[in-house]
Structure 1
């Protein structure tokens, strides 16, 4: 996997973990944190938990699949992304309005940003 694809995958897993991490087993949470948050290698995780690299790899793949399954069913990450894209568009459109119209709309956009 190239560097850019690895970064995209890491970002995706981290976003999904933020939404669905508590639904994973303790072991899945720990391995994902070690690998994606703390940047441990498979070998380092394997040594820490006294299991094979292959076992770590399989735990990670299973956890990633569980996160993707939750997202496919619930769509919280996609909804979150769409919501923020909409607010950014709204703020861009507000900036193009006459100054006297901006304040109440800017306050509404700020309220929406704080709603999550």
Structure 2
């Protein structure tokens, strides 16, 4: 997955874990495509301060994902739903749901 798309996907899951300032900088940088200098000017801070905060958010997103795995889980469930919708029989749907149940049990049991 492209880095920017991955970071935006992670941000959608974990954004509430960051300060308002960090959220503003990240959103302006990734969603509004503003440069670090433009963001710094808008908030009357240094370009380096914006850079540091954006990097902290990026690192935090990857750290949260490594520990919680919410994006990975969401992608797995999306793939499962696609398989269920494409299934041609009730037996196939039941088998897919059994497979998902086992995967959830394994995921919940992981440390």
TM-score by length of 1: 0.71
Q: Separation in 2 of the partners of 1:71 and 1:23? A: 12
Aligned residues: 93
CA RMSD of aligned residues (A): 2.1
Give runs of aligned pairs for residues 52-63 of structure 1, distance below 5 A.
Answer: 52-63=46-57
Q: Separation in 1 of the partners of 2:49 and 2:76? A: 36
TM-score by length of 2: 0.74
Is 1:77 paired with 2:77?
no
Give runs of aligned pairs for residues 20-39 of structure 1, distance below 5 A.
Answer: 20-39=14-33
Is 1:16 paired with 2:19?
no
Secondary structure in 2 aligned to 1:21?
helix
Q: Separation in 1 of the partners of 2:52 and 2:75? A: 29
Q: CA deviation at 1:58?
A: 1.0
Is 1:50 paired with 2:34?
no
Which consecutive residues of structure 1, in runs of 5 or more, have no partner in the other structure? 110-116
Which consecutive residues of structure 2, in runs of 5 or more, have no partner in the other structure? 98-111
Q: CA deviation at 1:91?
A: 2.1
Secondary structure in 1 aligned to 2:87?
helix
Q: CA deviation at 1:29?
A: 0.7
Secondary structure in 2 aligned to 1:38?
coil
Q: CA deviation at 1:90?
A: 2.3
